Amino acid sequence: MDSSIILTNEQIQNKTRRIAYQIYETNSNEKEIIIAGINGNGYVFAQNIVKILKEISTIKIVLCEVKIDKKNPLKKVETDIPSNDYKNKSLVLVDDVLSSGTTLMYGIKHFLEVPLKKFKTAVLINRNHKKYPVKADFKGISLSTSMQEHVAVVFEKNKALAIIE
């Protein structure tokens, strides 16, 4: 099967900006927001959101990498900042694609062990194939695809693409 582009670089930039504004609007009364990106593309997407948030707001933005073994999500989830740094704060968990919800669910489980003030999720692409009751609070696009189709987001130095294979 041939791949086809679902989001161009410009569309990804626009959707990232829109998500950043939505995060800002939801947290406008906060002093600090933790943007926690799931390792790999989720973290790259989180970095892009953080860059825009720092341009548009005066709120302290903290970037956090969430390390999840996507092949074995039952392994211990770790973050690159100590849990005290996000305790009682507003946190947004970020990934590139929400398919079955497995990765996001294990990421959420990790953060439930620490009291948070506010907790939201953000994804660039929501595929509507969830096997867990997890939703994206902020999403770039929702797609109805077949389970056989693979959605990939490719982040390169100065451009990004979302494709379906």
Phi, psi of 22 (to 5 degrees): -65, -40
Quick check: 151 and 125 in contact, CB under 8 A?
A: yes
d(CA 141, CA 161): 13
Per the structure, the count of domains in the chain is: 1
What are the DSSP calls for 39-69, one per residue?
Answer: TTHHHHHHHHHHHHHHHH--SEEEEEEEE--
Domain hosting residue 121, numbered range: 4-164
Give pTM, 2 decimals.
0.92
Q: Please give the Cα distance from 83 to 86 (Å, whole number).
A: 6
CATH code (residue 110): 3.40.50.2020
Q: What's the pLDDT tens digit per position in 77-88? A: 999 999 999 999
Mean pLDDT of 21-36: 97
